[in-house]
Copies of this chain bind each other. A is one copy, B any other.
Amino acid sequence: MFVVKVGGSEGIDYDSFLADLIQHDDYLVVHGGSHELNNTATKLGKPPVFVTSVSGFTSRFTDRETLDIFNMIYAGKMNKMLVEKLQGLKVNAVGLTGIDGRLMEGKRKQALKIIENGKKKVLRGDLSGIIENVNTDLLRLLMDNAYVPVLTPPAISYEGQAINVDGDRCAARVAVSMKADTLIILSNVPGLLRDAEDEASIITKLSIDEIDSHIESYAKGRMKKKLLAAREALEGGVKRVILGDARGKAPVSLSFQKWGTIIE
């Protein structure tokens, strides 16, 4: 089986993605919603706040109000949009967050260590964390009964609190737990680029040993986390991770034909 993560960035063509996806068998979908979340949060008077960790990774600061809007967009608008479209294509999809059935469980971060204006700072009140367990029993129960799970953050802490988790790393954790062969991570770029401004500068192949140096040298913004997710997937036993482009007409099929950045 394979896991496909479809991002929530601008420019993603969900209809083409789904029409292509359903030509394949035995898959599970994880999705994002960042672009819609930023738009709606801003309209609701709660614009997004991003922080940069001391190790150089960017993440959304998620207080309770942000988490409510996060649920509105990820669990509400985006998840049900994808499930409805799949149902319209005769695929019996079931949309779930990590809270439902404790599907994706993990540790809440106690505090964020961030860099702000060049200075280190400790930030509290952030509801985010890292997934450590996936309820594979629930996923198998659904898949054995011919349902297609469509999964989205948030996850749930051991204390039973919703926590924001990175969507790509969430997909990696699900792929590892479900013993998937392949993880496809689709976004609105062709893959990992040597030069973020030049789509022709795509790096088509990468080994697991090269990931760290490429996080340092080439990856910008959200691409850093995609590489981190790729490393976590491969270390956990997934055979290949493909970073592909969801702006085209057949992103899943093209990923299987090794378009994009293949990490093995």
A140 to chain B, nearest CB (A): 11
Bound Cα distance A94, B101 (Å): 5
A44 vs B73: C-alpha distance in the bound complex, in angstroms?
13
Interfacial chain B residues near A154, Cβ < 8 Å: 80
Closest B residue to A159 by CB, please name it. Answer: B88
Q: Which residue of B lies closest to A146 (CB)?
A: B101
What 6 A-B pairs have minimum CB-CB distances, sorted nearest first?
Answer: A76-B76, A88-B160, A72-B76, A72-B72, A71-B80, A87-B160
Distance between A30 CB and nearest chain B CB, rounded to angstroms: 16
Which chain B residue shows the least CB distance to A76? B76
Measured between beta carbons, the chain B residues less than 8 angstroms from A119 are: none
The digit string for A121-156, where 1 denotes a CB below 8 A from any CB of B, is: 000000000000000011001000101000000101
Map CB proximity to B onto A68-95 as digits: 1 under 8 Å, 0 otherwise. Answer: 1001111111011101100111101111
Residues on B with C-beta less than 8 A from A99 are 80, 83-84, 87, 95
Q: When the two chains form the complex, which single residue of B75, B101, B137, B160 contacts A75, counting CB atoms closer than 8 Å? A: B75
Q: Is A162 an interface residue (CB 8 A)?
A: yes
Within 8 Å CB of A95, what residues of B? 75, 96-97, 99-100
For the complex, give the distance between the alpha carbons of A46 and B167 in Å: 30
Question: Which residues of chain B are within 8 angstroms of A161 by Cβ–Cβ distance?
Answer: 84, 88
**What distance in Å separates the Cβ of A113 from its nearest Cβ neighbour in chain B?**
26
Cβ–Cβ contact A156 & B94, under 8 A? no
A contacts with B: majority SS: helix
Residues of A within 8 A of B (CB): 40, 43-45, 68, 71-77, 79-81, 83-84, 87-90, 92-97, 99-102, 137-138, 141, 145, 147, 154, 156, 159-162
Q: Which residues of chain B have C-beta atoms less than 8 A from A81's C-beta?
A: 68, 71
What residues of chain B lie closer than 8 Å to A87, measured between beta carbons?
Answer: 99, 102, 156, 160
Residues of B with C-beta under 8 A to A100: 83, 93-96
Residues of B within 8 A of A72 (CB): 40, 72-73, 76-77
| A147–B135 alpha-carbon span in the complex (Å) | 12
Instruction: For A40, list chain B residues within 8 Å (CB).
Output: 44, 72
Rounded to whole angstroms, the CA-CA distance of A90 and B161 in the bound complex is 11
CA distance A160 to B138 in the complex (A): 25
